[in-house]
Amino acid sequence: MAFSIYDFTSFTQSVDKALYSSLPPFWALIIEMTIIGLAFLLFYALVGLILVYAERKVCAFMQNRLGPNRVGPYGIFQTIADFIKLLMKELIYIKNADKFLFNLAPFIVIIASFMAIAAIPFAKGLHAIDFNIGIFYVIAVSSLGVVGVLLAGWSSNNKYSLIGAMRSGAQIVSYELSVGLSLLTIIVLAGSMQLSVIVEAQRYGWFIFTGHIPAIIAFIIYMIAATAETNRGPFDLAEAESELTAGFHTEYSGIKFAFFFLAEYMNMFIVASIAATVFLGGWMPLHLGPLFGSMGAHFNNVMDYIPPFVWYIGKTAFLIFVMMWFKWTFPRLRIDQLLTLEWKYLLPINLVNILIMAFIVLMGWHF
Amino acid sequence: MADYTNVLEHDRLKEKLEEQEYIINMGPQHPSTHGVLRLVLSLKGEIVKSIQPHCGYIHRGIEKMCEKLTYQQIIHLTDRLDYLSAHMNNEAVCLCVEKALDVEVPERVKYIRTILDELNRLASHELWWCSFGMDLGALTVFFYGLRDREKILDIFEESTGGRLLQSYNCPGGLMNDVHPDFQKKVKEFISYFRKKLPEYDELLSGNVILMERTKGIGLLSLEDAISFGVTGPSGRASGFACDVRKHYPYSAYNKVDFREVIYTEGDTFHRYKARIDEMWESMKIIEQLIDNIPDGDYSAKMKPVIRLPEGEYYQRVESSRGEFGVYIISDGNKTPYRIKFRSPNFSNLSALNIIAKDFKIADLIAIGGSLDLVIPDIDR
Amino acid sequence: MTNEQLKEKILTIEPSVVITENKQVLYVNIAKEKLFFLAKKLKETEELFFDYLVNITGVDRQKSMEVVYHLDSSKYRHLIVLKTDTADRENPAIDSVCSIWRTAEFHEREVFDFFGIRFNNHPDMRRLFLDDDWQGYPLRKDYVDDKIVQR
């Protein structure tokens, strides 16, 4: 099997051929789906572990202290210890809660984030599905998460949870608009919704550079809206500890709480990776455009040495760091200020931005 | 014991609950009330319609206990009232006893008491600042504030033996002289802190989100401030010029030059600013005194058993939260007949209902933080 | 205003008061029926302007129950002490000054809680610190409780 770190299509195709040639097509399909499912589950769990540890360390260094440093060298096994603890905790059953919905809610949140990961390209040829409506699918599926949040708040039979869930629901639904519109701006530039085409189109420079002004505005709006989407950073009123206990997941304990917790970090990963794919080129290394001539071509060759997978992880990690930076620096916004920001400021700016981008594409004034 | 179903009757919400009004309990255990205070809120959607505070969760009967203790022993209990201004509470009782006995304390004692007062005020405002940031969601400022406060607590520990609760004053002067390094350490700290405070101003005070969350929130007019007896930085932010250090000076305050920080807007942001400005003024006071501490005794000669002459005596000092008063009624014995502590937080809390009415729950957190309540002072 | 001037002014308002002085502070004793009238006058008279009620204290004087008000003026910075008492120890009742100074709402509840002195016309007369079903008034000198450790 040809395995190239720079191009996974040959690898996936050879595995595919091997399976289909040795098994009846139905079973080959099932086996393939199982392998992909397991790989993603593993990836999901691993990324969750790493992100929780990263958050604690980043937060600690910003606060002038060390963070976890006892469990394992530099505390790297801390998250595993935490999850074992969460697994062993007693699952508290609420008396008058709606049992079915109460148990269903964390799963909906996890499933929504899981489905969204499937469409994102990690490296050339390494993604589960390659729709021609890629971005549309990702946005649609990640909005399913709000259903889980509302169910959690409602079924807990607790005023605090209900208030937290309502706030959270209003927030997520509002910021969906900004997320969608800012991604739309880039789709206008790229000309396609298929994620692999978008990444390929950034061969001569990332969209944030080639699309100059409207792309930068769209990027800033996207980062703000995405932070609000995931209930993080200055927009985490719904789960603010100092306000109404823990918001919609107050009544959850043990493994169910772990699901919400994990889903929050995975959502952060997903929005960061969408931003990295759409604005910063995904797995495409930093290339200089034809403007730079032969010096540009040499530069591109050097950049190509670094495997695309590393580029992708690097960009996503940088954006995740920025999101963590936001959270630990700014105070929280109040719910009405949050919604005012979206409806009165971000939305009009976004709409005007799309027009500008469309005009620029029509006139050919991009790089 | 009252149970939740009787809440309506207990709190006698005068107006019948309107449509869509519901009651929420911000229990004795809550990360933001900064102490064991139970607030029963009646909300309409997100708007707070009325607040009923339930105090008494940390009532220890200090006033009754003091009726059986001598005056030197009472000092140790006053520490535990408003524990963040422990030194000022001690000083109030000592000054009251000294006034009753007509004892003149040495100059050195006055200077040191004032310097320790102001250091205590700095430490208290620093802790207030970091917990205010934490309540509003800026979690990092909590650690920055505590880091600097540690330096002040180290100075206290060296001289007095206690970080938070010092019990250093005693009637007639101080229990012991200050550590020889005291002057040097205080000067080092002031020069360090002068650089840090502008950093904090930039980080939190200039932040747009903070200004949006505190400007125009929680208004207290001047008449209400005087009527409710809201003193301290909370009252001064509404225009009530009530600084005891300026108007009824004690210890070495008549020898220093500082500005009384008064704003007239009366909202949360100006209560915040009043405290930050007070920190600058405190540093100014310390700088004026630290180089000129006169030599002398650290205590006047006092009899071992203190009996106050029959009569009534009232002494007021400016603690970090307002006017702290001690009212002693003596019948000639070595224990007081009745001692009453006028606690600043008690009066500040009584105004909470008016300040927070018709604002949102999230604002209530900001307002409670800006009033800077310490619950053991309320409950005594 | 100096203590002399204050004394004169208060005597003109209400001649039945008894004024003493100790350590430069005036103590004004008034009967409880005239308390509300005098308190209102103290706040509203221009030259006196006692608009800041500092403290309300209850005292158990064994033969009577006394309530002490410390009054200050934010304009003139003079402090006086207003005292009133009632000989009735079974059901002591005094007029409330809540309508004059709103800080009295909490202070009077505290005095009721510890001494049992009821305040007429108080908007919310119930205990503040202790449980609602607590028997007795702890700060009275004749309060007996088997849980108290005697020194």
* Domain segments of chain B as ranges: 4-54, 62-379
Q: From chain A, pick out residues whose CB is under 8 angstroms from the CB of B365.
A: 242-243
Residue A281 and residue A134 share a domain: yes
H/E stretch holding B44 = strand B38-44
Q: Running DSSP on this structure, what letter comes out for residue B253?
A: G
Contacts of A204 (CB under 8 A, 6+ apart): A210, A287, A288, A289, A290, A367
> Is residue A299 domain-resident?
yes
pLDDT of residue B6: 45
Strand C93-95 to B47-54 pairing = unpaired
Contacts of A253 (CB under 8 A, 6+ apart): A89, A90, A91, A92
Neighbouring C-beta atoms of residue B20, cutoff 10 Å: 8
Q: Is the pLDDT of residue A251 over 80?
A: no
Residue A191 and residue A47 share a domain: no
Residue A155 and residue A6 share a domain: no
pLDDT of residue B3: 44
| CB proximity B357 to C under 8 Å | no
Which chains contact B through at least 3 pairs of Cβ atoms less than 8 Å apart?
A, C
User: Chain C, 34-73: which have a CB under 8 Å from a chain B CB?
Assistant: 51-55, 57, 59-60, 68, 70
H/E stretch holding B54 = strand B47-54
Nearest CA in chain C to B223: C51
Question: Closest by alpha carbon to A200, among A285, A273, A284?
Answer: A284
What pLDDT digit, counting tens, does each position of B67-122 carry?
Answer: 888 888 888 888 888 888 889 999 999 999 988 888 888 888 999 999 999 999 99
pLDDT of residue C44: 85
Rounded Cα–Cα distance for residues B95 and B117 (Å): 13
pLDDT of residue A192: 84
Average pLDDT of chain B, as a whole number: 85
Task: Tell me which amino acid residue B66 is.
Answer: C
Rounded Cα–Cα distance for residues B20 and B1 (Å): 28
Average pLDDT over every residue of C119-148? 83
Contacts of B287 (CB under 8 A, 6+ apart): B190
Q: From chain B, pick out residues whose CB is under 8 angstroms from the CB of C54.
A: 229, 316, 323, 325, 342
pLDDT of residue B1: 38
Question: Closest by alpha carbon to B53, among C96, C102, C98, C128?
Answer: C128
Residue A193 and residue A279 share a domain: yes
Residue A194 and residue A65 share a domain: no
Nearest CA in chain B to C76: B247
CB A175, CB A342: distance < 8 Å: yes
DSSP A283-323: T------GGGHHHHHHHHHHHHHS-HHHHHHHHHHHHHHHH
> Is residue A193 domain-resident?
yes
pLDDT of residue A348: 92
Domains along chain C?
A: 3-88 (3.30.460.80)
B31–A241 C-beta distance less than 8 A = yes
Total domains in the fold of chain A: 2
Residue A352 and residue A218 share a domain: yes
Q: Is the pLDDT of residue A57 over 70?
A: yes
pLDDT of residue A4: 66
CB A347, CB A181: distance < 8 Å: yes
Q: What angle is formed at CA B314 by the lines to CA B310 and CA B317, rounded to 5 degrees?
A: 145
H/E stretch holding A33 = helix A25-62
Q: From chain B, pick out residues whose CB is under 8 angstroms from the CB of C55.
A: 314, 325, 327, 340, 342
Q: Is the pLDDT of residue B34 over 80?
A: no
Residue C97 φ then ψ, to 5° = -105, 25
B342–C23 C-beta distance less than 8 A = no
B212–A330 C-beta distance less than 8 A = no
Residue B21 φ then ψ, to 5° = -95, 140
| CB proximity B68 to C under 8 Å | yes
ipTM of the complex: 0.90
Q: From chain A, pick out residues whose CB is under 8 angstroms from the CB of B22.
A: 159
B-A interface (Cβ pairs under 8 Å ≥ 3): yes
Q: Is the pLDDT of residue B12 over 60?
A: no
pLDDT of residue B19: 66
Q: Is the pLDDT of residue A65 over 70?
A: yes
What is the count of residue pairs from B and C with beta carbons less than 8 Å apart?
84
Residue A45 and residue A168 share a domain: no
C77–B61 C-beta distance less than 8 A = no
Residue A159 and residue A38 share a domain: no
Question: Closest by alpha carbon to A226, among A280, A178, A260?
Answer: A178
Average pLDDT of chain A, as a whole number: 83
Q: From chain C, pick out residues whose CB is under 8 angstroms from the CB of B375.
A: none
Q: What angle is formed at CA C78 by the lines to CA C75 and CA C84, rounded to 5 degrees?
A: 120
Q: Is the pLDDT of residue A115 over 70?
A: yes
Q: Is the pLDDT of residue A91 over 80?
A: no
> What is the pLDDT confidence band of residue B7, given thresholds at 50, 70 and 90?
very low
Residue C52 φ then ψ, to 5° = -120, 110
CB B106, CB B173: distance < 8 Å: yes
What pLDDT digit, counting tens, does each position of B300-325 carry?
Answer: 888 888 888 888 889 999 999 989 99
> Is residue A304 domain-resident?
yes
Per CATH, domain B62-379 is 3.40.50.300: no
Rounded Cα–Cα distance for residues A238 and B276 (Å): 30
The pair of structure tokens assigned to B46 is 């997100």
A64–B209 C-beta distance less than 8 A = no
Q: What Å distances lie between residue B38 and B24, B28, B354, C130, CA to CA?
A: 11, 4, 17, 13
Task: Tell me which amino acid residue B343 is.
Answer: S
| CB proximity A203 to B under 8 Å | no
Residue A187 and residue A262 share a domain: yes
What pLDDT digit, counting tens, does each position of C3-59 carry?
Answer: 788 888 888 888 888 888 887 888 888 888 888 888 888 888 888 888 888 889 988
Q: Is the pLDDT of residue A248 over 80?
A: no
Nearest CA in chain A to B361: A243
Q: Is the pLDDT of residue B10 over 70?
A: no
Question: Closest by alpha carbon to C63, among C37, C89, C84, C41?
Answer: C89
Question: Closest by alpha carbon to A167, among B290, C29, B46?
Answer: B46
H/E stretch holding C66 = strand C65-72
B10–C54 C-beta distance less than 8 A = no
C52–B313 C-beta distance less than 8 A = no
> Is residue A129 domain-resident?
yes
Average pLDDT over every residue of B204-215? 84
DSSP C12-33: HH-TT-EEEEETTEEEEEEETT
> Is residue A95 domain-resident?
no
What is the count of residue pairs from A and B with beta carbons less than 8 Å apart?
74
pLDDT of residue A244: 57
> Is residue A145 domain-resident?
yes
At residue A238, the 3 state secondary structure works out as: helix
Q: What Å distances lie between residue A4 and A11, A14, A200, B374, CA to CA?
A: 7, 12, 18, 65
> What is the pLDDT confidence band of residue A351, given thresholds at 50, 70 and 90?
very high
Nearest CA in chain A to B148: A64
At residue C54, the 3 state secondary structure works out as: strand
Residue A333 and residue A310 share a domain: yes
Select from C22, C139, C151 the Cβ nearest to the Cβ of B311. C22
Residue A285 and residue A355 share a domain: yes
Nearest CA in chain B to A330: B138
Q: In sequence order, what E strands does chain A have?
A: none
The pair of structure tokens assigned to B102 is 């007509």
| CB proximity B313 to C under 8 Å | yes
Average pLDDT over every residue of A306-314? 84
Percent of chain B with pLDDT over 70: 94
B135–A334 C-beta distance less than 8 A = no
pLDDT of residue A202: 82
Q: Is the pLDDT of residue B5 over 50?
A: no
Q: From chain A, pick out residues whose CB is under 8 angstroms from the CB of B140.
A: 59, 62-63, 328-329
Which chains contact C through at least 3 pairs of Cβ atoms less than 8 Å apart?
B
Rounded Cα–Cα distance for residues A173 and A325 (Å): 24
CB A327, CB A236: distance < 8 Å: yes
To the nearest whole Å, the CA of A227 is away from the closest chain B CA by 15
Q: What's the 3-state SS for B267-281? A: CHHHHHHHHHHHHHH
The pair of structure tokens assigned to B375 is 């619950």
Which structural domain range is residue A76 located in?
1-88
B-C interface (Cβ pairs under 8 Å ≥ 3): yes
Question: Closest by alpha carbon to B316, among B205, B217, B213, B242?
Answer: B242
What pLDDT digit, counting tens, does each position of B344-361 carry?
Answer: 999 888 888 888 888 887
Q: What angle is formed at CA A361 by the lines to CA A356 and CA A367, rounded to 5 degrees?
A: 110
Q: What Å distances lie between residue C147 and A262, A351, A358, C144, CA to CA?
A: 52, 73, 82, 9
Which chains contact A through at least 3 pairs of Cβ atoms less than 8 Å apart?
B
| CB proximity B11 to C under 8 Å | no
Residue A354 and residue A249 share a domain: yes
Query: Which residues of B touch chain A, with CB atoms under 8 Å apart?
Result: 22, 24, 31-32, 46, 133-140, 142-144, 147, 203-204, 207, 209-210, 212-213, 360-363, 365
Nearest CA in chain C to B346: C106
Is B311 buried (19+), middle (13-18) or exposed (0-12) by CB count in 10 A? middle
Q: From chain B, pick out residues whose CB is under 8 angstroms from the CB of A333.
A: 209, 212-213
pLDDT of residue C127: 85
**b/e burial code for range B135-161 (CB count within 10 A of at least 16 → b):** bbbbbbbbbbbbebbebbeebbeebbe
Select from C101, C124, C139 the Cβ nearest to the Cβ of B12. C124
Average pLDDT over every residue of B193-201? 87
Rounded Cα–Cα distance for residues A317 and A54 (Å): 10
Rounded Cα–Cα distance for residues C103 and C110 (Å): 12
Q: Running DSSP on this structure, what letter comes out for residue A72?
A: S
pLDDT of residue A245: 56
Chain C interface test: which of B314, B331, B354 (most C C-beta within 10 Å)? B314
pLDDT of residue B18: 63
Rounded Cα–Cα distance for residues A217 and A214 (Å): 5
**Residue B170's beta-bridge partner residues?**
B173
At residue B52, the 3 state secondary structure works out as: strand
User: Chain A, 213-232: which have a CB under 8 Å from a chain B CB?
Assistant: none
Between B288 and B33, name the one with better pLDDT: B288
Rounded Cα–Cα distance for residues B345 and B36 (Å): 13
At residue C113, the 3 state secondary structure works out as: helix
Q: What Å distances lie between residue B151 and B69, B82, B154, CA to CA?
A: 34, 21, 5
- Pure H helices in chain B: 7-11, 62-66, 71-79, 86-101, 107-136, 140-160, 182-200, 208-214, 222-228, 232-236, 244-247, 268-290, 344-350, 352-356, 361-371, 375-379
Rounded Cα–Cα distance for residues C36 and B353 (Å): 25
Domain C-terminal end among A60, A88, A116: A88
Q: Is the pLDDT of residue A7 over 80?
A: no
> What is the pLDDT confidence band of residue A344, given thresholds at 50, 70 and 90?
very high
A159–B32 C-beta distance less than 8 A = no
Q: Is the pLDDT of residue B14 over 70?
A: no
> Is residue A152 domain-resident?
yes
Select from A64, A163, A334 the Cβ nearest to the Cβ of B147. A64
Q: Running DSSP on this structure, what letter comes out for residue A344?
A: I
The reported pTM is 0.85
Question: Closest by alpha carbon to A360, among A186, A242, A240, A233?
Answer: A186
Average pLDDT over every residue of B225-254? 88
pLDDT of residue A352: 92
What pLDDT digit, counting tens, does each position of B59-81 carry?
Answer: 888 888 888 888 888 888 888 88
What pLDDT digit, counting tens, does each position of A164-213 carry?
Answer: 788 788 888 888 888 989 888 888 888 888 888 888 888 877 888 887 88
Nearest CA in chain C to B56: C129
Q: From chain B, pick out residues whose CB is under 8 angstroms from the CB of C27.
A: 312
Rounded Cα–Cα distance for residues B315 and C57 (Å): 14
pLDDT of residue C85: 84
| CB proximity A324 to B under 8 Å | no
C51–B312 C-beta distance less than 8 A = no
The crossing angle, in degrees rounded to 10, of helices B86-101 and B71-79 is 160
> What is the pLDDT confidence band of residue A318, given thresholds at 50, 70 and 90?
very high
At residue A325, the 3 state secondary structure works out as: helix
To the nearest whole Å, the CA of B199 is away from the closest chain C CA by 36
DSSP A137-183: HHHHHHTTHHHHHHHHHHHTT-HHHHHHHHHHHHHHHHHHHHHHHHH
Question: Closest by alpha carbon to B255, among B115, B123, B122?
Answer: B115
